[in-house]
């Protein structure tokens, strides 16, 4: 399997079944089993982006009362883009048009909400180079949280901003979850 562009990687991930199990498969097993969750998809995509010659990174998005999300970020020139596997249809690919990591992450904000219509993004990690843990990915399935837990995280919103957030748009809510595997959707409290 060979990819020519970041979008080729995204299309490949989109065709895979969403893995709703609490596990972490290495990229080779993602291909073998043709399923991935966002962590597995981000690790797979970052590995493939590197093969295409991009500097590839993992960025962790932290949510409140919702699933966290991992994206595979890349730079084209001085601009950031991302490839991502998601159980929702709107938290996936981003073209490399964002001038900062924060701007890239914020492009997900209005579409990042839980099943109670609450916008849930709160923090994000610094870009973690795939080179810093690539050797782990070729070995076997495992728990990669120790590698990403050591990253620095940045707050996205002030308390005042959080207090004044509007609920998610109902039409966007329907679109977001239209193709979802409800076994893998976080059940908001």
Q: What is the pLDDT of residues 82-119, one digit of tens each?
A: 999 999 989 999 999 999 999 999 999 999 999 999 99
Greater model confidence, 51 or 139: 51
Can you tell me whether residue 15 is helix, strand or coil?
helix
Q: What is the pLDDT of residues 56-82, one digit of tens each?
A: 999 999 999 999 999 999 999 999 999
With CA atoms as reference, report the closest residue to 59 among 22, 15, 119, 102.
102
CB atoms within 10 A of CB 20: 15
Whole-number Å distance between alpha carbons of 103 and 84: 16
Instruction: Return the DSSP state at 119.
Output: B
Residues in the chain: 189
Residue 108 near residue 91, CB atoms below 8 Å = yes
Q: What is the pLDDT of residues 156-189, one digit of tens each?
A: 999 999 999 999 999 999 999 888 888 888 889 8
pTM (2 d.p.): 0.93
């Amino acid at each position: 399997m060979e990819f020519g562009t970041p979008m080729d990687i995204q299309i490949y991930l989109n065709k895979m079944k969403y893995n709703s199990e609490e596990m972490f498969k290495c990229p080779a097993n993602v291909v073998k089993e043709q399923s991935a969750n966002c962590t597995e998809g981000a690790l797979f995509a970052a590995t493939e982006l590197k093969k295409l010659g991009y500097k590839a990174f993992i960025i962790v998005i932290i949510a409140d009362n919702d699933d966290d999300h991992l994206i595979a970020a890349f730079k084209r020139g001085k601009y950031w883009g991302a490839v991502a596997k998601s159980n929702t249809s709107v938290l996936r690919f981003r073209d490399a048009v964002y001038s900062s990591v924060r701007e890239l992450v914020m492009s997900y904000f209005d579409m990042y909400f839980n099943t109670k219509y609450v916008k849930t993004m709160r923090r994000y990690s610094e870009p973690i180079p795939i080179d810093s843990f690539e050797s782990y990915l070729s070995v076997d399935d495992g728990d990669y949280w120790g590698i990403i837990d050591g990253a620095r995280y940045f707050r996205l919103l002030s308390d005042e901003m959080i207090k004044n957030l509007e609920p998610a748009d109902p039409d966007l809510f329907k679109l977001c979850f239209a193709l979802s595997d409800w076994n893998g959707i976080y059940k908001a409290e």
